[in-house]
Structure 1
Amino acid sequence: LVLDDVWSKKNLEDLLFEAKGYKTVFTTRENSIIPIRDGSRPYEMPVLRNEDSVKLFCFWAFGLPSIPTNYEHYKDLVQQVAAACGGLPLALTVIGSCLRNQPWTYWRSAKEKLSKAESISQYHTDKLLNRLETSTDVLDDESKQCFLDLGAF
């Protein structure tokens, strides 16, 4: 059983059980909900190295694993935006997708906003949320309203 992004110990306990040949893998941002059992081994995912960050970012921004040759003159800007995502895969994916086909002035603005985002969380949660906030800037007014309505639930 694979559970992604478990937020509470109760949710996890409701789904955990032991059976021969059965394993549970789950992801969480909260170390406090990890049960200590025989055979369980928590693994904290490190952030991506710079080289891997640029590859993932470029895949979502350009559809390629590297900066396209016709954008070489923007190489520094692309690398700065990718670095500003802090090695966080979700931030690289969302920001890369949002910057796809956007004018370079928008990229510069995104880089400035991303570079100002600072984390106060040991588990990168705040850093990720600060960086994802930039992704809503690309939405038109109607899409922003729909996003806010959905977020209210």
Structure 2
Amino acid sequence: SSIYDEISSKFDGCCFVKNIRDESSKNGLEKLQEIILSSVLKKKQVNVIWRVEEGRQVIMDRLCHRKVLIVLDDVDQLDQLKALAGSHNWFGEGSRIIITTRDEHLLNAHKVNVMHSISLLNDDEAIKLLRKHACLDYRPMEGIEDYEQLSKEVVFYAGGLPLALTVLGSFLCDKNINEWRSALARLKEIPNDNIIETLKISFDGLTRADKHLFLDIACFFRSVKKDTAMEMLNACGFHSVIGVKVLIQKALITISEDGE
């Protein structure tokens, strides 16, 4: 959203459509089409859209000559992209459509121009993000060394995951040093619910077969060579070639440069 705020003034109209996964199921794609038209055209109200096909045509007719910036956040179905940004010719020259998704396959299927994978943070980046959300820069200098040491432990626990660092930093921002120690000790035994629920969204979106495959990999095949793991998974009845591809595209597993 910070990039959106920074560059939005360079476009004729802008729209940031949040949480498409949830909003499309609650309110329908027609409502999201109305939001795009209202925001980009800078009108409080637009004509009610009754059908998705009608909305597709209206967006193309009204925006095809406008340079627009549209962010489609948390897309999880191809029909969402087809309804909200169906083709390049829907928008004027110089337009930018930014899509965030947990599923790389959707971007491939929609033939987007450029894809960028978000990697885990290194230790320096992780410390910087944690300091921001835990308000460490506003702590008294007395005892700051203890906070710095515990910050390293929090970063190690989070494993470079921005979501975990943001949630944990916000939770710890008004806690004293003893409460930091207690919270960290508890986290090692009981993971934070907000983090688990957010990460669980990707798991819940898997087929039953892919869920079983993911759990087997997570429990038994961490740091195992890919070829060895695939051979053993196939012997157990998994169609591992397509299954592993799906899990990678949904960013649930990664394969290292060493092939593990």
- With the length of structure 2 as denominator, give the TM-score of the two structures: 0.41
Quote the offset at 1:104 in angstroms: 3.0
Q: CA deviation at 1:74?
A: 3.3
The equivalent residue for 2:76 is 7
Name the SS of the counterpart of 1:78 in structure 2: helix
Other-structure match for 1:87: 160
After superposition, the Cα gap between the structure-2 partners of 1:58 and 1:14, relative to the gap in structure 1 and judged at 3 Å, is: same
Task: Report the 3-state secondary structure (helix = DSSP H, G, I; strand = E; otherwise coil) of the residue aligned with 1:101.
Answer: coil
Aligned-residue RMSD, C-alpha = 3.1
Higher-Rg structure is 2
Give the Cα separation in 2 of the matches to 1:37 and 1:28: 12
Contact 1:47–1:87 (CA<8 Å) still a contact in 2?
Answer: yes
Mapped to 1, the partners of 2:150 and 2:130 lie a distance apart of 12
Instruction: Give the counterpart of 2:117 among 44, 63, 83.
Output: 44
Cα deviations by residue, 1:77-109 (Å, 9 ceiling, x for unpaired): 111112212222222112101111213343234
Q: For residue 73 of structure 2, what is the amino acid of its counterpart? A: D
**Which residue matches 2:88?**
18
| Farther off after superposition, 108-117 or 40-49 | 108-117
Rate the CA distance shift 1:113–1:34 in 2: closer, same or farther, 3 A: farther
The amino acid across from 2:71 in the alignment is: V
Structure 2 distance, partners of 1:30, 1:38, is 13
Query: Is 1:101 the counterpart of 2:170 in the alignment?
Result: no
Change (3 A) 1:101 1:75: same
- One-letter code aligned to 1:69: M
Question: 1:62 and 1:9, CA in 2 relative to 1: closer, same or farther beyond 3 A?
Answer: same
- Shifted more, 102-111 versus 16-25: the winner is 102-111
Query: Could you give the per-residue CA deviations for residues 30-63 of structure 1, whole angstroms, max 9, x where no partner exists?
Result: 1222234666122111111110110110111125
The structure, 1 or 2, with the larger RCO (C-alpha pairs under 8 Å, 6+ apart) is: 1
TM-score relative to the length of structure 1: 0.65
Per the TM alignment, residue 115 of structure 1 is displaced from its structure 2 partner at its CA by 4.5
Task: Note the C-alpha offset of 1:111.
Answer: 2.5
Give the match for residue 132 of structure 2: 59
- What's 1:69 paired with? 141
Q: What's the CA shift for 1:25?
A: 1.1
Whole-angstrom CA distance in 1 between matches of 2:128 and 2:174: 17
Q: In structure 1, list runs of 5 or more residues that go unmatched.
A: 126-153
Which residue of the partner structure matches residue 212 of structure 2? none
Instruction: Name whichever of 37-46 and 4-13 sits farther off.
Output: 37-46
In the TM superposition, what are the counterparts of 1:109-124 in structure 2 within 5 Å? Answer: 109-115=182-188, 120=218, 123=251
